[in-house]
Structure 1
Amino acid sequence: MPYTPSGFFCDRLIRERERRDGEGSLNKPLRFNSQDFGVLRQECLGGKTLFEDESFPATVESLGFKELGHKSNKVKNIVWKRPKEICENPQFIVGGASRTDICQGDLGDCWLLAAIACLTLNEKLLYRVVPQEQSFSEGYGGIFHFQFWRYGDWVDVVIDDRIPTFNNQLVFTKSAERNEFWSALLEKAYAKLHGSYEALKGGNTTEAMEDFTGGVTEFYEMKEAPKELYKIMKKALERGSLMGCSIDSLVPARFETRTVTGLVKGHAYSVTAVEECKPSQHKEAKVRLVRLRNPWGQVEWNGPWSDNSKEWATLSKSEKEKLQHQSAEDGEFWMSFEDFKKNYTKIEICNLTPDALEDDKIHKWTVSVNEGRWVRGCSAGGCRNYPDTFWTNPQYRLRLLEEDDDPEDNEVGCTFVVALMQKNRRKERKMGANLFTIGFAIYEVPKEMHGNKQHMQKDFFLFSSSKARCKSYINLREVTQRFRLTPGEYVIVPSTYEPHQEGEFILRVFSEKRNTSEEIENRIEADHPVPAPASAGEESEEDQQFRTIFQEIAGEDMEITANELKNVLNRVITKHKDLNTEGFSLESCRSMIALMDMDGTGRLNLQEFRHLWNKIKQWQGIFKHYNADQSGSINSYEMRNAVNDAVMCLVSRSGFRLNNQLYDIITMRYANENMNIDFDSFISCLVRLEAMFRAFQAFDQDGDGTIRLSVLEWLQLTMYA
């Protein structure tokens, strides 16, 4: 999906400003769609009206775009109703929120409902997502709100209470209690967050788990699970971690098919308890059990330790009470840990703190959060299989500063977890977006380069092997892995598998001890330009030719206009057959005059023209250097280094140093549809860069790198550049 520089970067600046003001925290969540729950509810109560959410209306658009879109027969008989129109005594929560309040409807979002069921096991987490003191009686205005973690920020999502129904029954999630609606409203708020109900179809339980907690998830394949998996699961539940599991369906046609044992393939389950019991006939060992829940609210395991199995007869009454054993078709059941390992293929554990699985002590982990994006033609370099572009991916410098307190197996090192999450792909599904295949690699920085924040270049990756990397590139929203490395400085390179895939991401690093991680990008700065000295030697043949041409076109006043400059330049570059160019446009020449016009006449004299031409000759040499294939143009990845080299020629000392966001903007502004830049576009880009810096520095009187402009000054700054 294409991005506009103004939209993306303005939004990013706004988000950064909000974070500085404390916005986005648990105590001060961002207002989704700028909707303030308190203000809106007060307006409804004051006007004695019921809230109608225009940003997520009771229409087909909120239902979906394909299977639940305008052309679908499924939506024809759906009626949006408020709970008071569905039953006589609607309640937000009846007798406390519990896992039995979540029963799946006609939407393939079992992954979401499994996560909600896990959420109910921890009241503190639950009421963080589902704010209390909401009801259909006191203070009722048809408006509710819920809070989710979203790519590094907590957001407050406001909804009205109109819910899709068919024959007066809820179409999607419902509670076992017909007059209870918190789970249905939570599902609606989550659907709003992603654009529609249909956007929730199909997913991974960990996605919702993280959106409810801001935690980090780790996966275990049962075939490769550690021998202490039971202990890991028990400790995780004790510490409030959310846990889900599933059985892979190898044949797509059999997705969500029931097996003879009552389990469902391709379906998400919640793990709600892990316990041990001692049957009377077992004199030696205890039996380890796992309790699971099917979000359907029915269809259960029928093997050993199922609701009505003979094994329960071997337990004492106190043991049964401890396990809260019930014989009810409610979707919840027990099974032995051994049967659990045999039947399920993977388990996902969302840790509120990553150390919860490996250490009996409670630690506060250091968490670093970085936002980034892959831009086609500039910073979407693909994986290591594409050496020509891999180095252009965003890079993050990681400093591991302290070793773990209690190293395992006497191995010295720093434990940390890297979590790479791609953003907004579910929300953009209606526009054809799918999850990218993503992953990351970690490289050790040579000691002589410690503290150097420069972007690692192509040769570094050609001659250096990764120190660590994710197990595989995979098309999940998030790829997560735990590592142990010695203290030092490293570079994390997140990427899509294929190059040229454009999207946003968030990279989080959790470590047991102190770490710092930040994007490698140069500060934006420049030294003041110094006029090029006049040549002391004799004029070259080319210089003489230009003086003659200049005199011919400039006339008696010896000054040329933008149109005359265009003619001069294009007469010369037509002789360079190795440059792929359509010629300089009038607009480009106006920018050149704006750059070199020292006396404010709007024209160039011979000295100003000579200064300009010296720059163009230097830039031409750089352009030809990167035009190694003699195609007459350079690709957008080569443009990055070409600009780096060129801006060093702009000034006498260090020149400009651009950051990654500016490289993205340059690519989008000057590359053609094939991600190539021709000669005149290259020159136009450099002219504009220098002109904007020079104009900025004219306003930066105290040299502190910041300026304050009025609207008129802003227009003056940008219009003539």
Structure 2
Amino acid sequence: MLTVISASVAPRTGAEPRSPGPIPQVAQGKGTEAGGGNPSGIYSAIISRNFPIIGVKEKTFEQLHKKCLEKQVLYVDPEFPPDETSLFYSQKFPIQFIWKRPPEICENPRFIIGGANRTDICQGDLGDCWFLAAIACLTLNKRLLFRVIPHDQSFTENYAGIFHFQFWRYGDWVDVVIDDCLPTYNNELVFTKSNHHNEFWSALLEKAYAKLHGSYEALKGGNTTEAMEDFTGGVTEFFEIKDAPRDMYKIMKKAIERGSLMGCSIDTIVPVQYETRMACGLVKGHAYSVTGLEEALYKGEKVKLVRLRNPWGQVEWNGSWSDSWKNWSFVDKNEKARLQHQVTEDGEFWMSYDDFIYHFTKLEICNLTADALESDRLQTWTVSVNEGRWVRGCSAGGCRNFPDTFWTNPQYRLKLLEEDDDPDESEVICSFLVALMQKNRRKDRKLGANLFTIGFAIYEVPKEMHGNKQHLQKDFFLYNASKARSKTYINMREVSERFRLPPSEYVIVPSTYEPHQEGEFILRVFSEKRNLSEEVENTISVDRPVKKKKTKPIIFVSDRANSNKELGVDQESEEGKDKTSPDKQAKSPQSEPGSADQESEEQQQFGNIFRQIAGDDMEICADELKNILNRVVNKHKDLKTQGFTLESCRSMIALMDTDGSGRLNLQEFHHLWKKIKAWQKIFKHYDTDQSGTINSYEMRNAVNDAGFHLNNQLYDIITMRYADRSMNIDLDSFICCLLRLEGMFRAFNAFDKDGDGIIKLNVLEWLQLTMYA
């Protein structure tokens, strides 16, 4: 019996902006409906035709900075201009913000005052507490902090109104350049600010992050770990505190010691309760930073404590161990000094670990490396990164609940080669962590994109299939259970899970919960020992390999046609026969595939129709071919089709035309019909509901049955090119696709004189090849 997969919804923190300041209430504009389609379109499978043919390398921060100094001008960012387009995309404020540079806001502006620390971060009127909580954690690790925030920036020396910050983006570190214009109201910063009126590093960091995602509004609502990973390139683990392991405090303590970043929150189901303060002083639906763990001596007993920070810079816990807790008088003054206790409204406070696990619901830990938190020794893990995408109609198969399409999802082979070095472990086990991250969903919010509900499953590959990189088919998943999988499918940017499995070969299948959802992702695998991880890709090939002959360079249509003749119009046809003249064909029945008494009824029918339409020259053009094919096809009542289009018939002639005349004779026509009949049989096999169409997800197998073996990128392109809006492919499109494939394989083989799989074409040859196909 199939296991039913369930999905859950991830609560966001800071989904609604806090509004304590003087800014009037926002007038909510009509937002774009949140949809599942990928705004970037079907795809990066093809190089965008909007890209310039000759690209200009983007200028670096140093180049832009130098240019501004030479021209004595202040930088204005053309990609993220100081206007409304950089602020919001679905709402409009009734008042106008004034964009100002720090020297226009205050005297003696400073980038950083006395070192960047967590008290420099105060949330403004934007619901990005999750981002600010991550910044507070980042300040605890100066090495990481100054990778994100290059320290050689100031408002005094070589000031040119230009700053830059660095973020990890899906496997790469990117440098984000901005100007220093910031939105203000009544000469006060609207969004993130520092406790120091003249300190601006946190406000500029927020602006750079907003540019990375397209607007300030794109930062509303999220999970702290998303920003943590963008600051570090680390991998995140989530803990539901109610289900936390017994040694959770030890895990947190070791994470702090390793420099891992931690955040926590109190979930709320009701949207109106986002960022609402409870009687104890804590805020629901709000992100906090975990900034320290200690054990304090109180009345002769050790008490476990957790230090947290509210990114608002105010509103603190008011229970035991809070700043104003009356029992601090019973704590030794040396303990007070060690815990840095002071009664200040700065958003930071201590609370007991027991109170922490009672009130908070979620803990997020971002490991800078995938060090095993349950181990007492630091371990070095190996990492592999794979990029992929789900394509509607081709490789967006949904989860295991959809067996007809699940198998079409991208597949990644994982070879666990060596077991862990653990003297206390009796089993032969490999420890590894899988992290699936969807890309660009936040940036594409303005186009209607939301986070998909995602997860993954892991299957063991049978020994007889080890080393075979073929895409596993539907039957495999129908009769084999997964060895491991993500705990749940959830609408978060990244889903990660730790596993322990014996050395073997496995396949990881990442997917969205629902099928037909289109998007890009990266799949990272961390393991204690050596592993190999790669996408399952079929080798591009075609059945019935042709014999290669040395030919002249193919330039003209006739030369290209000669190559068709040399490669063989059809392996089943008579080889070595020259194409006879139309006159001889008309007079000589021996030149036809068979004499009249040997022809089948269908062949006789074709011959009669052909002679009626072809005329004296016994050759037909595309219009005439369309007429013949549709007259015959319409008599096949079991075929639900509207016939062949003129464009399909032109493709057929281009494929079968062996003399470059642009027309077909009777022999060529018979060879064509043999192909159409064979492909028609494949089509009917996959048209299980006899609707006259096949589902685009089945196109992979149908094309394979026709003898063409392609990789995932080519299947994506075929879906884009030949499927209709309902992701179905009719007979005409199916035949047209196979004609194009056969023609392109044939042409490639003609040009590939060395047989090394590489061809070199000049522009004339390229145009010749693409225009007559």
Q: How does 1:152-301 map to 2 (within 5 A)?
A: 152-279=171-298, 281-282=299-300, 285-301=301-317
Distance in 1 separating the partners of 2:45 and 2:116:
39
1:7 Cα deviation after fit: 4.8
Q: Does residue 639 of the first structure (1) align with residue 704 of the second (2)?
A: no
Q: Does residue 406 of the first structure (1) align with residue 443 of the second (2)?
A: no
Contact 1:370 1:506 in 2 (8 A): yes
Please, which runs of 5 or more residues in structure 1 have no aligned partner?
A: 15-30, 649-655
Code of the residue aligned with 1:720 in structure 2: it is Y
Q: Does residue 621 of the first structure (1) align with residue 621 of the second (2)?
A: no
Among 394, 407, 419, the alignment partner of 1:391 is 407
Code of the residue aligned with 1:196 in structure 2: it is S
Aligned length: 687
TM-score (norm 1): 0.92
> Match for residue 677 of structure 1?
729
Question: Could you say if the C-alpha distance between residues 717 and 132 of structure 1 is closer, same or farther in structure 2, counting changes exceeding 3 Å?
Answer: farther
Q: Does residue 708 of the first structure (1) align with residue 734 of the second (2)?
A: no
Q: Does residue 331 of the first structure (1) align with residue 359 of the second (2)?
A: no
Distance in 2 separating the partners of 1:11 and 1:220:
41
Among 631, 637, 654, the alignment partner of 1:594 is 654
Distance in 2 separating the partners of 1:109 and 1:173:
9
Show CA shifts across 1:499-532 (max 9, x none): 1111111111111111111111212233336433
Contact 2:703 2:709 in 1 (8 A): no
Code of the residue aligned with 1:427 in structure 2: it is K
Distance in 1 separating the partners of 2:48 and 2:530:
30
1:677 Cα deviation after fit: 0.7
Secondary structure in 1 aligned to 2:524? strand
1:607 Cα deviation after fit: 2.6
Secondary structure in 1 aligned to 2:482? coil
Distance in 2 separating the partners of 1:408 and 1:254:
48
Contact 1:236 1:356 in 2 (8 A): no
Secondary structure in 1 aligned to 2:541? coil
Show CA shifts across 1:329-352 (max 9, x none): 000001111111111111000001
Secondary structure in 2 aligned to 1:10? coil
Code of the residue aligned with 2:70 in structure 1: it is G
Among 19, 26, 42, the alignment partner of 2:66 is 42
Secondary structure in 2 aligned to 1:354? coil
Contact 2:640 2:690 in 1 (8 A): no
Secondary structure in 2 aligned to 1:275? strand
Code of the residue aligned with 1:170 in structure 2: it is L
Please report the RMSD computed on the Cα atoms of aligned residues, expressed in angstroms.
1.9
Contact 1:383 1:498 in 2 (8 A): yes
Range 216-225 or range 636-645, more displaced: 636-645
Code of the residue aligned with 1:306 in structure 2: it is S
Contact 1:425 1:435 in 2 (8 A): yes
> Match for residue 19 of structure 1?
none
Code of the residue aligned with 1:191 in structure 2: it is A
Q: Does residue 694 of the first structure (1) align with residue 754 of the second (2)?
A: no
Among 99, 114, 117, the alignment partner of 1:80 is 99
> Match for residue 534 of structure 1?
573
> Match for residue 55 of structure 1?
79
Distance in 1 separating the partners of 2:327 and 2:423:
42
1:704 Cα deviation after fit: 1.6
Distance in 2 separating the partners of 1:485 and 1:540:
61
Secondary structure in 2 aligned to 1:589? helix
Q: How does 1:475-490 map to 2 (within 5 A)?
A: 475-490=491-506
Question: Could you say if the C-alpha distance between residues 713 and 632 of structure 1 is closer, same or farther in structure 2, counting changes exceeding 3 Å?
Answer: same
Secondary structure in 2 aligned to 1:410? coil
Secondary structure in 1 aligned to 2:490? coil
1:218 Cα deviation after fit: 0.3
Distance in 2 separating the partners of 1:436 and 1:407:
41
Range 120-129 or range 710-719, more displaced: 710-719
Distance in 1 separating the partners of 2:657 and 2:156:
72
> Match for residue 24 of structure 1?
none
Contact 1:210 1:217 in 2 (8 A): yes
Code of the residue aligned with 2:229 in structure 1: it is E
1:356 Cα deviation after fit: 4.4
Distance in 2 separating the partners of 1:407 and 1:168:
64
Q: Does residue 553 of the first structure (1) align with residue 605 of the second (2)?
A: no
Contact 2:415 2:505 in 1 (8 A): yes
Question: Could you say if the C-alpha distance between residues 546 and 133 of structure 1 is closer, same or farther in structure 2, counting changes exceeding 3 Å?
Answer: same
> Match for residue 130 of structure 1?
149
Show CA shifts across 1:247-277 (max 9, x none): 1113322111111111111100000011122
Query: Runs of at least 4 residues of structure 1 off by over 6 A?
Result: none
1:35 Cα deviation after fit: 4.6
1:408 Cα deviation after fit: 6.1
Q: Alignment identity in percent?
A: 72
1:358 Cα deviation after fit: 2.4
> Match for residue 449 of structure 1?
465
Contact 1:142 1:161 in 2 (8 A): yes
1:689 Cα deviation after fit: 1.1
1:298 Cα deviation after fit: 0.4
Q: How does 1:489-504 map to 2 (within 5 A)?
A: 489-504=505-520
Distance in 2 separating the partners of 1:576 and 1:83:
78
1:483 Cα deviation after fit: 0.7
Distance in 1 separating the partners of 2:356 and 2:327:
16
Distance in 2 separating the partners of 1:275 and 1:709:
69
Code of the residue aligned with 1:357 in structure 2: it is L
Range 197-206 or range 414-423, more displaced: 414-423
Among 362, 365, 368, the alignment partner of 1:346 is 362
Distance in 2 separating the partners of 1:484 and 1:9:
38
Code of the residue aligned with 2:400 in structure 1: it is R
Among 162, 165, 173, the alignment partner of 1:146 is 165
TM-score (norm 2): 0.86
1:409 Cα deviation after fit: 5.3
Distance in 2 separating the partners of 1:242 and 1:488:
33
Bigger relative contact order, structure 1 or 2, given CA contacts below 8 A and separation 6+?
Answer: 2
Contact 1:579 1:678 in 2 (8 A): no
Range 608-617 or range 127-136, more displaced: 608-617
Among 704, 718, 721, the alignment partner of 2:770 is 718
Q: How does 1:358-377 map to 2 (within 5 A)?
A: 358-377=374-393
Range 550-559 or range 365-374, more displaced: 550-559
Contact 1:121 1:272 in 2 (8 A): yes
Code of the residue aligned with 1:597 in structure 2: it is D
Secondary structure in 2 aligned to 1:618? helix
1:576 Cα deviation after fit: 2.1
Show CA shifts across 1:271-312 (max 9, x none): 001112223x31xx4221111000000011111111122343
Range 141-150 or range 311-320, more displaced: 311-320
Secondary structure in 1 aligned to 2:758? coil
Code of the residue aligned with 2:572 in structure 1: it is P
Contact 2:417 2:503 in 1 (8 A): yes
Among 627, 631, 634, the alignment partner of 1:567 is 627
Distance in 2 separating the partners of 1:233 and 1:370:
30
Contact 1:235 1:356 in 2 (8 A): no
Please, which runs of 5 or more residues in structure 2 have no aligned partner?
A: 1-36, 547-566, 575-592
**Structure with larger Rg:** 2
Show CA shifts across 1:356-375 (max 9, x none): 41223322211111111111
Code of the residue aligned with 1:692 in structure 2: it is M
Q: Does residue 10 of the first structure (1) align with residue 70 of the second (2)?
A: no
Distance in 1 separating the partners of 2:373 and 2:407:
35
> Match for residue 26 of structure 1?
none
Q: Does residue 630 of the first structure (1) align with residue 690 of the second (2)?
A: yes
> Match for residue 9 of structure 2?
none
Q: Does residue 666 of the first structure (1) align with residue 718 of the second (2)?
A: yes
Contact 2:148 2:166 in 1 (8 A): yes
> Match for residue 319 of structure 1?
335
Code of the residue aligned with 1:454 in structure 2: it is Q
